[in-house]
Amino acid sequence: MTAADRAGAHMVDALCAAGRIRSPAVERAFRAVPRHLFLPSFTLHEAYADDAVPIRFAEGAATSSASQPSMMAIMLEQLELRAGQRVLEIGAGTGYNAALMATVVGRQGRVVAVDIDQELIDDACEHLATAAPQLAAADAGAIELVCADGAVGHPERAPYDRIVLTVGSDDVRPEWVAQLAEGGRLLLPLAVRGSQLCVALDLGEDGLLRSDSVQSCMFIRLRGIGSATGRTVALAGTDLAVEVPSDGLPADPERLVAALAEPGGAIRMPFPLRQADIWDGFGLWLALTEPGACRLVGAGTGTPAPADGLFADELLPVGPSVGSPALVTSHGPTGLAVVAQTADGRQAIRCFGPAGMDVGAALVGSMQAWAAVGRPGAPDWRLTVVPGEPGEPGPGVVPKPHGTVLAEVRSQGRR
């Protein structure tokens, strides 16, 4: 075996051992397609590490990346590809994912990969040409690369048995639904009130899309006409910011600043939160059940907080950054409650504003309600997408530009 063979085998063995790869078809594809041929500018270690690899930048920010192998495996298992199927991929990247999918669908199948960046398409063509002998040996299906805005899909080859996005989206666009075959599946990283969820949606005879599976994820967002509109707003006079998702009820930054100017007491947490709970555990529950939910993050301004105020470094660590779920009043007396780290490394709910303690009690109640149903995380939610006019926002009702997402917890949450 060559060094590349050994690196590839080690990666696949690890993905199988971790349960990311579960089916023989997906394992065969990963073993047949050499990942390093799609990342020629990187070392073997970088190519086969279980990390996302940024490959394109604009203004200092990554606009495209080779996805983390474990996330690719999770998504391929969510897709449940079958021999002979027609697949549309939105976000071609390096071409590696298209090669994996073409290997699964086989010679009778076809993969069309669309990307808005012509240079990415050109590079992916070169990578696929380099890997042509391996793809031929694996009986891979045809791969077509198209430079276009993936927000409108690719109607020329429709209908598709599967449509998969490898970029995050704020919406379930009608073009994708229209291009799905009867009983087809749409898999996409969907923004849901500040969290990103990789949702496998099956198109029903009634025109609704119902989730088969939901996973946590984090993808670079869609560009072009379907680009996301969520943003982060700095809170004046602090080193904090508030996330303002495009599909949630935005917290009023002025109300947050007013509350932070009046520090109050602290409430003991019923139990500590883990890092995974901040966005996709309790954080997701809070966002879907409480209209006053928000997430505070570090603004990176270095601005000192008022005396007894809240500093960014008191928020909970989330990878290289910090963030905490919070509740704020939308009317009446100002009140804010935030999950914070204490000086001794524990967690507590810090309260601010005249109504802070009442809001803190509501935050505790929400935590207890979440625990009572099994502390559900992303995989424990069931999503139904109703295409058409967006509905009114509310608990479990998330309006989108082209429809409404209905969210409910499955009957048995996971601990």
The Cα 51–Cα 397 span in angstroms is 34
Residues 6+ apart with CB under 8 A from 279: 194, 195, 216, 295, 318, 323
Q: Please give the single-letter amino acid code of residue 73.
A: A
Give the three-state DSSP class for 408.
strand
HEC states along 197-258?
Answer: EEEEEEECCCCCEEEEEEEECCCCECCHHHCCCCEEEECCCCCEEEEECCCCCCCCHHHHHH
C-alpha distances in angstroms, 240 versus 94, 188, 208, 409? 36, 30, 40, 31
Inter-residue contact 164 to 75 (CB < 8 Å): yes
Q: Give the position of tokens 């087809």.
A: 184
User: Among the options 64, 65, 67, 70, which is catalytic?
Assistant: 67
Asked if 353 and 264 count as a contact pair (C-beta separation under 8 A), the reply is: yes
Write the DSSP assignment of 51-65 as a string of letters: S-EEEEEETTEEEEE
Q: Which helix (H) or strand (E) holds 125?
A: helix 118-130
Query: Strands 142-147, 110-115: parallel, antiparallel or unpaired by DSSP?
Result: parallel
- Any catalytic annotation for residue 41? no
Report, as residue numbers or ranges, the catalytic residues.
67
